[in-house]
């Protein structure tokens, strides 16, 4: 018995010791960008550890019930990951486990419940991360750190300059709680996922948009809930609902997040009431899934060596220094100041988001100015407010992670600075890129 206890302690000690070792690449955050980064860097031979503060991988999709998977991109690696993770849509119950299996197969280590506090720094170089593990704070060193925290927690603490919000007033896109409703009568589920769809979908001659506006006028809904978007889900009697929102709050501040959580959770029940009263087959609908945290669309956008501009997206700019090829999603700005979508744009009259042409994202948008040893990925890359409104969606966010993972592995293996990595040599248009 005594020997078994000693053996068990030896194994536990060995596992702990392994985590205390240096890594080639540390990935902070386990959302689409972090998964893409850890998978690609590990597949390319780097020793990788991904750190996630919560108990599940998947990022906003898992924590904030965000779906469907949006955005186009020319990236066979992203395609491979997506085909494993999002089979038939975003499955909120399974996505994290599928991601876990994928990362295990790739050879990346993962630590959940590990909150990244700040970078370890030597001058202007990031040399690792200070992490709050459940057992206490721990310093973990690495040759490269990839910030995939969405909010850019590492980059901000490393002193990389950033902007928040749109140029004129610093307001960001609103935060929202997406939730699921179930209990819809079989065959009665409504699909109505955009402003345009809300205008087209009619109940006894009246559009869904008009019905929602009348409910706002009657005080049953707050004015910020300008549209109730109903998406399909993996279960046929279920909708994912995208309707709640709060404006003029900052997703990097606890007091603002607290206000946002409570406001949107209350809105969700108001939305349920409207849906039950107006949609046939929804009389017994109920909220089946309220996410753990609110969805944050936009916070810090860091200063990189290069920046993705709105004009690049509209013109479909192609580049020699591309790290993401042919990204494709409209400039989807949810109104920072009130209800609706695509405010401040010429097309606001019709509520339609501006279309883009498939554009490339430059590698420099992942390389922070002045700080070494660090790459940006996901929704905190260097991009203008309008450009981020396109490249923030999950498939494109993941592709930036894939690019960061490939660049990190290349820098480690060739013993060069991240800013000297030639993106043309990363073979990102090949499946394995080896
Ligand atoms: C309401 C809403 C609706 C949306 N709708 C869609 C949609 O329909 N389709 C679509 O494709 N996209 C949609 N998006 C956009 C998309 O979800 C995000 O932009 C995308 O998930 C960004 O990916 P990411 O990996 O950069 O960040 P995230 O998905 O936010 O992942 C970041 C991860 O880092 C972790 N993390 C953060 N801080 C720390 C820390 N200090 N230590 C350790 N871990 C940390 C977080 O827990 C999280 O797991 C929506 C977003 C919102 C908010």
pLDDT single digits (tens) 103-124: 999 999 999 999 999 999 999 9
The torsion angle over the Cα atoms of residues 84, 432, 364 and 416, rounded to 10 degrees, is: 130
Atom of ligand 1 nearest to the CA of 51: 43
| Predicted pLDDT at 18 | 44
67 CA closest ligand 1 atom index:
8
pLDDT of residue 196: 86
Rounded percentage of the chain residues whose pLDDT exceeds 90: 84
How far does the centroid of ligand 1 lie from the alpha carbon of residue 24, in Å?
24
In this prediction, residue 83 carries a pLDDT of: 95
8 A C-beta contact, residue 313 and residue 75: no
- Among the residue ranges 65-69, 83-87, 261-265, 420-424, the one predicted with the least confidence is 65-69
For a substitution probing ligand 1, which of 26, 34, 39, 60 has the most ligand atoms within 8 Å of its CB? 60
| CATH, range 2-166+299-329+356-426 | 3.50.50.60
- Predicted confidence at residue 4, as pLDDT, reads 58
Q: How far is the CA of 297 from the centre of ligand 1 (A)?
A: 8
Nearest CA to ligand 1 atom 12: 393
More reliable by pLDDT, 10 or 395: 395
- Better-scored residue on pLDDT, 384 or 11: 384
- CA-nearest residue, atom 21 of ligand 1: 60
Q: 393 C-alpha vs ligand 1 centroid, how far in Å?
A: 9
Average pLDDT, stretch 247-261? 98
Whether the predicted pLDDT of 3 surpasses 70 = no
User: Which residue's CA is the closest to the ligand 1 atom numbered 53?
Assistant: 295
- Cα 188 versus chain centre, distance: 31
What's the gap in Å between 410 CA and the centre of ligand 1? 26
| Rounded distance from Cα 152 to ligand 1 centre (Å) | 11
Residue 95 CA to ligand 1 center (angstroms) comes to 14
Instruction: Say what the pLDDT of residue 90 is.
Output: 85
Q: What is the pLDDT of residue 342?
A: 56
User: Ligand 1 centroid to 60 CA: how many Å?
Assistant: 4
Q: Is residue 346 scored above 90 in pLDDT?
A: no
Q: Whose CA is nearest to atom 49 of ligand 1?
A: 59
Average pLDDT of the segment spanning 45-61: 97
Given a cut of 50, is residue 16 above it in pLDDT?
Answer: no
pLDDT in tens, 209-235: 999 999 999 999 999 999 999 999 889
Q: What's the confidence (pLDDT) of residue 7? A: 53
Of 346, 391, 385, residue with least CA distance to 170: 385
Q: Which atom of ligand 1 is nearest to the CA of 58?
A: 49
> Which residue has a Cα nearest atom 35 of ligand 1?
29
Predicted confidence (pLDDT) per residue in 295-344, tens digit? 999 999 999 999 999 999 999 999 999 999 999 999 999 999 988 875 44
Q: Using pLDDT thresholds of 50, 70 and 90, give the confidence band for residue 87.
A: confident
Output the ligand 1 site: residues, CB below 6 A.
Answer: 28-34, 51-54, 59-60, 63-64, 66-71, 115-116, 148-150, 153, 176, 178, 295-297, 378-379, 392-394, 397
Q: Which residue has the least CA distance to atom 20 on ligand 1?
A: 394
Domain ranges of the chain: 2-166+299-329+356-426, 179-289
The whole-number pLDDT of residue 432 equals 65
Q: How far is the CA of 328 from the centre of ligand 1 (A)?
A: 18
Query: Which is more confident, 113 or 345?
Result: 113
Report the pLDDT value the prediction gives residue 17, as an integer from 0 to 100: 44
pLDDT of residue 22: 84
pLDDT digits 0-9 by tens, 351-380: 457 889 999 999 999 999 999 999 999 999
When mean pLDDT is compared over 11-15, 88-92, 229-233, 272-276, the highest value belongs to 272-276
Q: How many angstroms is it from 9 CA to the middle of ligand 1?
A: 37
Cα(7) to centroid(ligand 1), Å = 41
């Amino acid at each position: 018995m005594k020997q078994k206890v000693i053996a068990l302690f030896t194994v536990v000690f060995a596992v702990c010791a392994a985590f205390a070792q240096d890594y080639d690449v540390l990935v902070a955050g386990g959302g689409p960008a972090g998964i893409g980064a850890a998978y690609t860097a590990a597949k390319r031979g780097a020793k990788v550890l991904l750190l996630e503060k919560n108990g599940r991988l998947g990022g906003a999709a898992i924590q904030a019930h965000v779906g469907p998977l949006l955005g186009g991109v020319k990236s066979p690696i992203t395609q491979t990951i997506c085909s494993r993770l999002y089979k038939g849509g975003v499955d909120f119950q399974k996505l994290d486990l599928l991601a876990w299996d994928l990362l295990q197969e790739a050879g990346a280590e993962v630590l959940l419940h590990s909150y990244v506090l700040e970078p370890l720094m030597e001058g202007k170089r990031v040399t690792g991360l200070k992490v709050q593990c459940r057992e206490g704070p721990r310093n973990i060193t690495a040759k490269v750190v990839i910030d995939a925290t969405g909010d850019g927690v590492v980059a901000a603490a490393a002193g990389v300059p950033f902007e928040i919000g749109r140029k004129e007033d610093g307001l960001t896109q609103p935060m929202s709680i997406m939730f699921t409703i179930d209990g819809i009568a079989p065959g009665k589920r409504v699909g109505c996922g955009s402003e345009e769809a809300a205008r087209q979908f009619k109940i006894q001659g009246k559009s869904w948009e008009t019905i929602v506006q009348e409910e706002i006028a009657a005080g049953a809904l707050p004015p910020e809930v300008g549209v109730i978007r109903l998406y399909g889900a993996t279960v046929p009697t279920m909708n994912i609902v995208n309707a709640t929102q709060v404006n003029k709050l900052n997703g990097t501040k606890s007091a603002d997040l607290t206000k946002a959580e409570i406001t949107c959770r209350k809105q969700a029940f108001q939305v349920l009431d409207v849906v039950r009263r107006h949609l046939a087959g929804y009389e017994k609908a109920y909220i089946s899934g309220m996410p753990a945290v609110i969805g944050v669309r936009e916070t810090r956008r860091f200063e990189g060596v290069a920046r993705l501009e709105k004009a690049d997206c509209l013109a479909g700019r192609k580049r020699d220094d591309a790290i993401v090829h042919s990204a494709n999603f409209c400039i989807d700005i949810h109104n920072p100041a009130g209800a609706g979508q695509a405010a401040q744009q010429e097309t606001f009259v019709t509520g339609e988001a501006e279309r883009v042409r498939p554009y490339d994202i430059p590698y420099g948008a992942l390389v922070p100015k002045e700080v070494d040893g660090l790459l940006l990925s996901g929704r905190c890359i260097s991009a203008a407010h309008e450009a981020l409104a396109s490249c923030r969606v999950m498939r494109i966010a993941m592709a930036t992670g894939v690019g960061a993972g490939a660049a990190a592995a290349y820098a480690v293996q060739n013993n060069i600075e991240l800013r000297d990595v030639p993106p043309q040599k990363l073979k990102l248009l090949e499946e394995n890129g080896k």
